[in-house]
Amino acid sequence: MVLTAVIILILVALDRAAKIVAEGLLVGKGAVEFIPNILGFRLLENGNTGAAFGLFSGGTVVLSVVTFIVVALLLYVLFFKKFSSKLLRAAVILITAGGIGNLYDRIVYGAVTDFLEFRFMSFPIFNVADCFVTIGCGLMLLYILISPKNEPVFVKETEATDTDKEKNNDEQL
């Protein structure tokens, strides 16, 4: 359990650090080319008040409430259930960290800080937390595709002490 919490905190800190650096380097500078014609940095001046692809623009309160509920449920699952798969657990950790990163922005700033821009195709500007959520969803899809059809998502815990449960949860990573 402790390892899971530390990993989530590190991922959220990486997201925050990337957003702080991007804001410091990009405010008032427009777009900055990183890898020509592939990847650039462009800070959305007023932040993203919606979700991906401009959905729910201006829906900060609703998105914050929904994100809070989803993150709370994922944290419950991470800390009180034992996953049958390390891959699935890693996916849920990434999705949780990304959700926390963007939820923090919505609560503190009223919008999410987006700054990463693909130049080789038309794609919304995004951030590190979005990458965590996307990679987590990809891992979850991979789990669905490769796991045995009847494999349970969680394993039933036997009567174990709290120390044993914490050790087992940390060993899953």
Handedness of CA 61, 63, 64, 69 (dihedral sign): positive
Q: Which residue has the tokens 């800390």?
A: 79
Q: What is the largest CA-CA distance in the chain?
A: 59
Written as one string, the DSSP assignment of 95-108 is HHHHHHHHHHHHHH
- Per the annotation, the verdict on 130 as an active-site residue is yes
DSSP 41: E
Does the annotation mark 114 as catalytic? yes
Residues 105, 130, 164, 170: which is the catalytic one? 130
Q: Per the residue annotation, which of 15, 105, 114, 162 is the catalytic one?
A: 114
Enumerate the β-bridge partners of residue 148. none
CB 8 within 8 A of CB 93: yes
Contact 68, 96 (CB under 8 A): no
The catalytic residue positions are 114, 130
